[in-house]
Amino acid sequence: MSPDATSTRPAIGASIPRVDGPLKVSGRATYSSDHHFPGLLYAVPVGATIARGEIAAIDDSAAAAMPGVRKVYTRANIGTFYKPGKSGMIDESRPPFEDDTVHYYGQYVALVVADTFEQATAAARAVKVDYRNVAPPDVRLALSPEENQTTDSERGHVDAALASAPVTVDQTYTTPPETHNPIELHASVAVWDGKAFTLYETTQSIMNHRAVMAQMLGVPKENVRIVTEFLGSGFGGKLWPWPHALLAAAAARDLGKPVKLVVTRQMMFHNVGHRTNTQQRVRLGANHDGKLVALRQDFIYRTSRIDDSKEDCGEVTGFLYSTPNLKVTSARARRDIAPNTAMRGPGAVPGLFAIESAMDELALALKIDPVELRLRNEPAIDESLGIPFSSRHMKECLTRGAEHFGWSRRNPATGSMRQDGVVLGWGMAACAWMAQRLDAEVSLLLNADGSVRVASGTQDIGTGTYTMLAQMVAYDLGVPIERIQVVIGDSALPPGPLSGGSMVTGSLVPAVAQAAADAVQQLLDTAAGHGPFVGAKAEQLAFTEGRVHLRSGTPADGVPFADILKQARLAHVEGKGKSRNTFGDKEAKKFSMHSYGAHFVEVTWDPAIARLRVSRVVTAIDAGRILNPLTGRNQIEGAIAMGVGMALFEDTRYEPLHGKAINSNLADYIMTTHADMPDVDVLFLDYPDTKLNALGARGIGEIGLAGVAPAIANAVHHATGVRVRELPVKIEDLLASHVV
Ligand code: MOS
């Protein structure tokens, strides 16, 4: 079959394997730390071994004399880092080595640069740091509001409604600190050519990274180029720059040599953010018929002493259910722990653990099925903003998910369902996540060799952005996927969106469509009046599946676009497209735009040996039109794996003497493995949300994680009778079970 005969219009909605898959599985995909240059040096930071105090002295004499060591940097000789100002987003805004104060365990206090990684590592261990004014750190996870509580959302009179509600729930839920553990470590390879930087970085936002690095390194933006061709994921931990990137760049500039700095797994637990712990008191009030009359959520999140990254647990609370009376308040508590940052589904994910656990407790108190309870509280509009939803099919997520799971066979009595000698627990939870667009620019070349190049200064966190872009172009132009080259991951390209908030795909759709239309227009202008189209005006021509033809004729009578360009002796025509963000867009603000879902979970509980497993998950997701069910399902499956980890395993522990994360490795920080994976079934509702973009595609990176942990905890309660309100669920908790 010739490429032109391939019908490419179905590119949207087709299960197309990742276009970058072969590069990845053959090891040819170049990740940031894979970049190597002649004369490359290796940098290894020295981390503080206290969490609170001051540096009294640093003795680097032994380290400096060790083999291969080029230089040991401290505050005395690193040079100037400027403050980030308003250049962009950064979670640790204090420049590295800013002063002698230590704010958290592991804070970088020195940097060794040597000829090899081993030499740098050995010398880093030989740097002797003396501290003074050392104080015991406060790393307590129990939280009380230490700063003024603020009201984030309010309607009606929640306290009065709670006081008079016939049925109430009042419980406190906590989630632990979770550490992002993408398999690709954070890394920087910095190259300075005497005037400009080229920085190979692990970043979810090359454009933001460029802006912040330029400001903090004190060079114009034009003199910084960020390259991130592939990411071994990031989960939010790679959204904003971290201090190691500045250190690598400063050393490269000072030494005039390329410098590579790879953050170790242990450092990943201290120096590149984490999802902070939260404590949430949830009060629900309902009538006997299950109608919510009041919802109050008061949450506290922990931050570092030096920055404030808000974990907005109330993110989805205001519009999830219908209730006339609602209040969400937040407060932060400062501790001697490093700055936290966004982690997949920030805010909503811990928030939904509390809300959806409380809803399960309410269902039990009311003796109403938990699915039915949610159906009875489905809002007609977004009651927090008083505006309609762009496209919300929560009810169908609930009913289709329930049907697919077999929910009607559920016996609500605790520990009542058994199979193959174990107790079955069935639980469920609903979820939501925002849908928004960011600014995006795209360049699209129709090349004289018949290929198409699409380029944007965005990056692929691993979710399939290369594939999405190829599909969008295939859809807009009708050109086969194989002839489309996707170029991303370079800040020299037209500025593209960051890979966060599940916004990349939705942001790129309008920009790609506009760039494609622009390129086609230029092609038709070029073709008009020449060759086979002598006497024809551009408006009499059409472009169909890669061919230019008379509107009055058929594509088969036309010519391939490559021929037009060759005849005109043009290497290419370039189309340009732009998307506008939704945040300041009046039209977009008329609608409440979110994705929705419902998770149905089965756990098995073997009381004889206290063994709990998540055995089966059915997830129904309403995320607009699904551009690629294969990569889409993959996103949800990965999210469910992460949800199992959140429910049962993940928990960063800080020891109280030094404030160190003691489980700072992949053996002790437990994450979901293949052996822990349940049988997963993903249903996509596939209703296009054309308020967000013409294809109706919302993001699916985060929605799949939201709600998984409470669905599991609810299933655990059904199996064991133990209500776990403090994640993760521990075997110790379940030993209280009366189910035998
Ligand atoms: Mo995601 S936490 O928005 O990278």
- Tens-digit pLDDT profile for residues 421-437: 999 999 999 999 999 99
732 φψ region: left (φ > 0), alpha (ψ -120 to 50), beta (else): alpha
The single residue of 98, 361, 702, 726 carrying the catalytic annotation is 702
What pLDDT digit, counting tens, does each position of 187-197 carry?
999 999 999 99
- Selection from 701, 702, 727 nearest residue 714 by Cα: 727
- pLDDT of 165 strictly over 70: yes
Describe the crossing of helices 708-720 and 629-648 by its angle, rounded to 10 degrees. 50
Say whether the peptide bond before residue 728 is cis (omega within 30 degrees of 0). Answer: yes
Rounded average pLDDT over 85-106: 98
Distance from residue 701's CA to the centre of ligand 1 (Å): 8
Rounded average pLDDT over 195-217: 98
Mean pLDDT, all residues of the chain:
96
Distance from residue 234's CA to the centre of ligand 1 (Å): 8
- pLDDT of 278 strictly over 60: yes
Copy the structure tokens of residue 12. Answer: 């949207």
Rounded average pLDDT over 537-544: 97
- pLDDT of 23 strictly over 60: yes
- pLDDT of 333 strictly over 50: yes
Confidence of residue 740 (pLDDT cuts 50, 70, 90): confident
Confidence of residue 6 (pLDDT cuts 50, 70, 90): very low
Ligand 1 binding residues, C-beta < 6 A: 204, 236, 239, 342-344, 346, 500-501
- The 3-state DSSP class for residue 527 equals helix
- The 3-state DSSP class for residue 422 equals strand
The predicted pLDDT at position 5 comes to 37
The predicted pLDDT at position 144 comes to 82
Report the DSSP beta bridge partners of residue 717.
Answer: none
Distance from residue 446's CA to the centre of ligand 1 (Å): 33
The predicted pLDDT at position 30 comes to 96
The predicted pLDDT at position 147 comes to 67
What pLDDT digit, counting tens, does each position of 623-663 carry?
999 999 999 999 999 999 999 999 999 999 999 999 999 99
The predicted pLDDT at position 8 comes to 45
- pLDDT of 1 strictly over 90: no
The predicted pLDDT at position 159 comes to 98
- pLDDT of 3 strictly over 60: no
Pocket test for ligand 1, best of 238, 315, 702, 705 (most atoms within 8 A of CB): 702
- Selection from 402, 379, 414, 345 nearest residue 707 by Cα: 345
The predicted pLDDT at position 148 comes to 78
- Pairwise CA distance, residues 315 & 348, whole Å: 5
Strand order in the sheet with 101-102: 101-102, 53-59, 128-132
Distance from residue 219's CA to the centre of ligand 1 (Å): 28
Rounded average pLDDT over 559-582: 97
Task: Out of 2-11, 30-39, 603-612, 664-673, pick the least confident.
Answer: 2-11
Confidence of residue 584 (pLDDT cuts 50, 70, 90): confident
Pocket test for ligand 1, best of 179, 206, 238, 239 (most atoms within 8 A of CB): 239
Active site residue 229: no
pTM value is 0.97
- pLDDT of 724 strictly over 80: yes
Question: What are the φ/ψ torsions at residue 705 (nearest 5 degrees)?
Answer: -85, -35
- pLDDT of 297 strictly over 70: yes
